[in-house]
Amino acid sequence: MKYVYFFGAGKAEGSGEMKEVLGGKGAGLAEMTRIGLPVPAGFTISAECCDYYLKHHRKYPKALAQEVNKNLSRLEKVTKKKLGAAENPLLVSVRSGSARSMPGMMETILNLGLNARSVEALARSTNNDRFAWDAYRRFVQMYSTVVIGLPKEELEERLRAMKLRRRVKDDTQVPAEGWRELVGEYKKFFKQKTSKDFPEDPEEQLWGAIGAVFESWNAEKAVTYRRVERITGLLGTAVNVMQMVFGNTGENSGTGVCFTRDPSTGGKTFYGDFLLNAQGEDVVAGIRTPMHLDEMSKRMPKIYRQLERARNLLETHYRDMQDMEFTVEDGTLYMLQTRTGKRTPAATFRMAVDMAKEGLITKEEAVTRIKAEDIERLFYPVIDPQVAREELAKRKLATGINAVPGAAAGKAVFTAEEAEAMARNGDKVILVRRETSPEDVGGMYVAQGIVTATGGKTSHAAVVARGWGKCCVVGCEDLDIDYPSKSVSVNGRVIRQGDWITLDGNEGLVYEGQVKLSVPELPEAFSTLMAWTDKIRKIGVRTNADTPHDARKAREMGAEGIGLCRTEHMFFKDFEQPEKSIERQLAIQEMIVADSVDARRKALEKLLPFQRRDFLGIFKVMDGYPVTIRLIDPPLHEFVPHDRDQQEELARKIGVDVEVIARRVEQLKEANPMLGHRGCRLAITYPEILEMQVRAIIEAAIEAKKAGIKVLPEIMHPLVFARKELQILADATRRVADQVMKESGEKIGYLIGTMIELPRAALVAGEIAEVAEFFSFGTNDLTQTTMGLSRDDAGRFLPDYVDEKKAGILPEDPFQSLDIAGVGQLIRWGIERGRATRPDLKVGICGEHGGDSASVKFCHQVGMNYVSASPFRVPVARLAAAQAVVEENASRKAKKRKGTSH
Ligand code: PEP
Ligand code: MG
């Protein structure tokens, strides 16, 4: 097996396609070299090697030493320099890089190859003593902390003391002598701690660094990041060993990060930050505030033009927005990294639509560029436009850089750890830091928003927060943060931990207190892209909605009908006329406690007009679209009061003895209500409930029809498990519907169907389809009953089942994302059997899974006619349905290609 891949002098053994093996960075370097961009030479040790190393008790594969030596010689030949040489020495960087970007989570060592001899040579060849010794102290510091694990603070303490002795404030003011002195101290400290001398042999240094990068794959912060980002299935990190170039050799040098398009807005502008006379991580660390690219273009026009060329080449080559790192060494540009850039959700939409319109990608590809989270994050809040300007002016604390848009309010907290603790207690928090580092990701993740006192738009805080679409303000230099007292003072005002603050990530502002937020309007590109998804997808998208209000929202979101209207949700609240809510409640409770059919019918008569009005409202909103109405489902005890006071009140209101109510409530008690007297079983026992509901549906449909509305009612019976059960219900349904139509002289077309939400229903679906005209898979109950997991209680232990670090039995919570291996089989079986009986059987899903991406794709694959999702998840379902088609086409094409190549 080959473990090392060389790149340099216009040629590369690897390529951009080899991300899994070379990591994103290594693949990018190989590809940039191939397409003729200026990349320092080097080699990549593969992620397969990391996998081997971690699995074989920290041993390298046998062939590795030889391969590394060979490639090192090749590097020395290409660069005409030698590692550790007394004349013209080669220095290398050793960097991590896995197949998925994990910004700042793993280790990097710069300036490797320096020792007592080569540092002098570097000073001579650059004619810059100060630079050479600064480079050496950086190396000794990085090596000591990263490779050996010595405490960073103690080294930094020595740096501070040296600066104090020399009475200098900034690192840039430290003379060569100062750095030389510091190197001496660092080495002394190294000896004290390890009982060994600091390694002089560059090869020993190199192997130490390679091992440290591999080890960093399993560092706690890296493991946490992968867990939070759900990154699984990777081999490990690759190691990139590359010739060092220096951005800190003077005013004709510098280092920067740039994006081929604006990562905040998605606009087609070249966007980036540049630091003059700075090295490597200074920009990302956000310690100094950088200059914008347009300012750089004035200072270094030639370099800027070269960079523009790289921008165009790379974006056209990768056909996506790239995030690039570069260094300018004495007027020469070097590209150090390119990767697909993280972006805000709004920018994701804009870029996908713009790129498709420019012809860079197809519409199908544009659709695959969007993730479900991007849609969800579009609905993130902003400062409510109604909040008075004067109020905002009064509350304004500080101005910073608007790194990630959106707005967030929460309690100020100053450490990531405490942020996590407060969030666990249910607090909304804003993480306030001077700067963030990878250790802080846990706290950043739980925070509503993040604000830092330093840094630019490409600082760690900005990059990480952007990936999550989380509101973030950086470079807020007025914030004087005092960690020990857990407070921040800004122009005389003091905010302590726990005090509310609000961030405006669009404007880069920090406000005192809790400012009202509201949900923004969707960007233009959103509707364009969603229209594309509608053209591509084959499966319909309906919504689960119980009120005209929700139905209207769902229509705005693109729903093509209602897949589930839970009628019992109407029993407790009158959404259109709230003052009538009590009347409804009493009617339903009276119906439940009734001790005779007559008494029950009387109560049901009171309910009828309410239900009719509800259905009419929904039919009006869904003019021309199907509406599936499910008859009463939950166990009746859910509707009656359980404590004595409330029972007495109900008795008074409906004029019955309290003992009658108490007895009835007692009667309704079940040990296992979810498996008890619920669903269609209620209508089998109390057909009068069914009669009232069907009457309300058909009467409302007739009224709507008379008003010129196109109504397509679908009457659905829940929790059916046998053909005969449904037959009884269907007969009763038809009887009432015919009667109502006869009374009015109007005809209404309607369907009768059932939910498939019990394993037995799926198993005998062939028989049930003799009666049912449609199936709707109720995957909430189907998951509950197939897996024997209570949907109400399993949350207590399911996290352990899903957590890879604990039991890791399930890949996902099965109530969120369909258990395709188990529940999915029942669905396949049910559809197959159902359609064998009734080929035109309409099939949909109305469990929560109808709004989950992976589950929607499954529904497409098994040939459902539609999915039904809650209103806000309708766009997610539309997107996933379209992606399912694109993915299917791609895999068909790939199969065909494979077939012809044999
Ligand atoms: C289901 O069980 O999947 C379903 C949609 O019904 P409910 O959630 O109301 O039980
Ligand atoms: Mg159900």
User: What digits encode the pLDDT tens for the residues 585-635?
Assistant: 889 899 998 888 999 999 999 999 999 999 999 999 999 999 999 999 988
Torsion of CA 729, 733, 734, 739, to 10 degrees: 140
Ligand 1 centre to CA of 548 (Å) is 20
**pLDDT tens digits, one per residue of 816-825:** 899 999 999 9
Phi and psi dihedrals of 199, rounded to 5?
-65, 130
Ligand 2 centre to CA of 732 (Å) is 22
Q: What angle do CA 811, 882, 786 make, to 5 degrees?
A: 35
783 CB near ligand 1 (under 6 Å):
no
564 CB near ligand 1 (under 6 Å):
yes
The residue-averaged pLDDT of 467-494 equals 90
Question: Which ligand 1 atom is the nearest neighbour of the CA of 566?
Answer: 9
757 CB near ligand 1 (under 6 Å):
yes
Q: How many whole angstroms separate alpha carbon 822 and alpha carbon 809?
A: 13
Q: How many whole angstroms separate alpha carbon 460 and alpha carbon 475?
A: 12
Question: Which ligand 1 atom is the nearest neighbour of the CA of 544?
Answer: 5
**CA-closest candidate to residue 435, choices 400, 465, 461, 408:** 461
CA nearest ligand 1 atom 10, residue: 781
**pLDDT tens digits, one per residue of 281-314:** 666 555 667 889 999 999 999 999 999 999 999 9
The separation between CA 271 and the C-alpha centre of its own chain, rounded to angstroms, equals 24
Q: How many whole angstroms separate alpha carbon 810 and alpha carbon 896?
A: 33
Q: Which residue has the higher pLDDT, 747 or 469?
A: 747
| pLDDT (0 to 100) of residue 376 | 76
Cβ contacts of 600 within 8 Å, gap of 6 or more? 591, 594, 686, 688, 689
Ligand 1 centre to CA of 779 (Å) is 7
Kind and range of the H or E run holding 397: strand 396-399
Confidence of residue 34 (pLDDT cuts 50, 70, 90): very high
CA nearest ligand 1 atom 3, residue: 778
Contact between residue 865 and residue 883 where contact means Cβ atoms under 8 Å apart: no
Ligand 1 centre to CA of 679 (Å) is 10
| pLDDT (0 to 100) of residue 549 | 86
Question: Which ligand 1 atom is the nearest neighbour of the CA of 633?
Answer: 9
Residue 799 has pLDDT above 80, yes or no: no
**pLDDT tens digits, one per residue of 183-193:** 999 999 999 99
282 CB near ligand 1 (under 6 Å):
no
The residue-averaged pLDDT of 488-501 equals 95
CA nearest ligand 1 atom 4, residue: 778
**Long-range own/partner contacts, residues 665-673 (CB < 8 A, 24 or more apart):** 665/593, 665/637, 665/640, 665/641, 668/592, 668/635, 668/636, 668/637, 668/640, 669/637, 670/635, 670/637, 673/635, 673/637, 673/638
848 CB near ligand 1 (under 6 Å):
no
544 CB near ligand 1 (under 6 Å):
no
Kind and range of the H or E run holding 466: helix 460-468
Q: What angle do CA 440, 446, 451 make, to 5 degrees?
A: 60
The residue-averaged pLDDT of 108-116 equals 94
**pLDDT tens digits, one per residue of 735-774:** 999 999 999 999 999 999 999 999 999 999 999 999 999 9
How large is the greatest C-alpha to C-alpha distance in the chain, in angstroms? 106
| pLDDT (0 to 100) of residue 286 | 57
Ligand 2 centre to CA of 89 (Å) is 72
Task: For the chain, give the percent of residues with pLDDT over 90.
Answer: 74
Question: Which ligand 1 atom is the nearest neighbour of the CA of 779?
Answer: 3
Q: Which residue has the higher pLDDT, 335 or 172?
A: 335
User: From its phi and psi, is residue 266 left (phi > 0), alpha (psi between -120 and 50) or beta?
Assistant: left
Question: Which ligand 1 atom is the nearest neighbour of the CA of 778?
Answer: 3
Confidence of residue 663 (pLDDT cuts 50, 70, 90): very high
Catalytic, 846? Answer yes
**Long-range own/partner contacts, residues 425-432 (CB < 8 A, 24 or more apart):** 430/501, 430/502, 430/503, 432/479, 432/481, 432/488, 432/495, 432/501
Q: Which two tokens stand for residue 531?
A: 């229209």
**CA-closest candidate to residue 47, choices 16, 92, 2:** 2
Q: How many whole angstroms separate alpha carbon 636 and alpha carbon 682?
A: 8
| pLDDT (0 to 100) of residue 641 | 85
Confidence of residue 659 (pLDDT cuts 50, 70, 90): very high
Catalytic residue among 50, 258, 472, 846: 846
**pLDDT tens digits, one per residue of 409-450:** 999 999 999 999 999 999 999 999 998 887 788 899 899 999
The residue-averaged pLDDT of 846-871 equals 95
**pLDDT tens digits, one per residue of 543-580:** 999 889 889 989 999 999 999 999 887 776 677 787 88
Ligand 2 centre to CA of 594 (Å) is 26
| pLDDT (0 to 100) of residue 93 | 95
**Which amino acid is residue 762, in one-letter code?**
A
Ligand 2 centre to CA of 781 (Å) is 5
Cβ contacts of 436 within 8 Å, gap of 6 or more? 416, 444, 450, 452, 459, 460, 461, 464
**Helix, coil or strand: residue 203:** helix
- Is 782 buried (19+), middle (13-18) or exposed (0-12) by CB count in 10 A? buried
**pLDDT tens digits, one per residue of 667-725:** 999 999 889 999 999 999 999 999 999 999 999 999 999 999 999 999 999 999 999 99
The residue-averaged pLDDT of 93-103 equals 91
Ligand nearest to the CA of 845: 1
Percent of the chain as helix, strand, coil, to the nearest 5: 50, 15, 35
Q: Which residue has the higher pLDDT, 640 or 149?
A: 149
Residue 115 has pLDDT above 90, yes or no: yes
Q: How many whole angstroms separate alpha carbon 320 and alpha carbon 314?
A: 8
**Which of 542, 543, 564 most suits a substitution to test ligand 1, by most atoms within 8 Å of the C-beta?**
564
Phi and psi dihedrals of 474, rounded to 5?
-125, 175
**Which of 566, 629, 816 most suits a substitution to test ligand 1, by most atoms within 8 Å of the C-beta?**
566
The residue-averaged pLDDT of 318-334 equals 95
Q: pTM of the predicted model, to two decimals?
A: 0.81
| pLDDT (0 to 100) of residue 345 | 87
814 CB near ligand 1 (under 6 Å):
no
β partners of residue 785: none
Confidence of residue 256 (pLDDT cuts 50, 70, 90): very high
Q: How many whole angstroms separate alpha carbon 194 and alpha carbon 573?
A: 72
The residue-averaged pLDDT of 317-342 equals 94
Residue 134 has pLDDT above 90, yes or no: yes
Confidence of residue 344 (pLDDT cuts 50, 70, 90): confident
Q: Which two tokens stand for residue 555?
A: 């229509």
**Helix, coil or strand: residue 382:** strand
| pLDDT (0 to 100) of residue 458 | 64
**Which amino acid is residue 731, in one-letter code?**
D
Residues in the chain: 902
Contact between residue 773 and residue 750 where contact means Cβ atoms under 8 Å apart: no
**Which of 631, 757, 777, 859 most suits a substitution to test ligand 1, by most atoms within 8 Å of the C-beta?**
757
| pLDDT (0 to 100) of residue 5 | 98
**pLDDT tens digits, one per residue of 503-540:** 999 889 999 999 999 876 788 999 999 999 999 999 99
847 CB near ligand 1 (under 6 Å):
yes
CA nearest ligand 1 atom 8, residue: 780
Cβ contacts of 189 within 8 Å, gap of 6 or more? 144, 150, 154, 155, 158
**Which of 562, 678, 846, 873 most suits a substitution to test ligand 1, by most atoms within 8 Å of the C-beta?**
846
Per-residue H/E/C for 835-896: HHHCCCCEEEECCHHHHCHHHHHHHHHCCCCEEEECHHHHHHHHHHHHHHHHHHHHHHHHHH
Ligand 1 centre to CA of 837 (Å) is 25
User: How many other CB atoms sit within 10 Å of the CB of residue 69?
Assistant: 12
DSSP designation for 523: P
Phi and psi dihedrals of 43, rounded to 5?
-145, 155
Q: How many whole angstroms separate alpha carbon 789 and alpha carbon 799?
A: 13
Question: Which ligand 1 atom is the nearest neighbour of the CA of 776?
Answer: 5
**Which of 570, 780, 789 most suits a substitution to test ligand 1, by most atoms within 8 Å of the C-beta?**
780
User: How many other CB atoms sit within 10 Å of the CB of residue 641?
Assistant: 18
Ligand 1 centre to CA of 780 (Å) is 5
| pLDDT (0 to 100) of residue 147 | 94
Question: Angle, to 10 degrees, between the axis of helix 581-593 and the axis of helix 597-621?
Answer: 140
Q: Which residue has the higher pLDDT, 350 or 813?
A: 350
**pLDDT tens digits, one per residue of 12-30:** 999 999 999 999 999 999 9
Ligand 1 centre to CA of 632 (Å) is 12
Ligand nearest to the CA of 778: 1
Residue 885 has pLDDT above 80, yes or no: yes
Ligand 2 centre to CA of 395 (Å) is 48
- CA–CA distances in Å: residue 587 to residues 299, 358, 581: 79, 61, 10
Catalytic residue among 49, 50, 258, 460: 460
289 CB near ligand 1 (under 6 Å):
no
834 CB near ligand 1 (under 6 Å):
no
613 CB near ligand 1 (under 6 Å):
no
Mean pLDDT of the chain: 92
Burial 688-717 (b: 16+ CB within 10 A, else e): bbbbbbbbbbbbbbbbbbeeebebbbbbbb
778 CB near ligand 1 (under 6 Å):
yes
Q: How many whole angstroms separate alpha carbon 616 and alpha carbon 259?
A: 53
Catalytic, 460? Answer yes
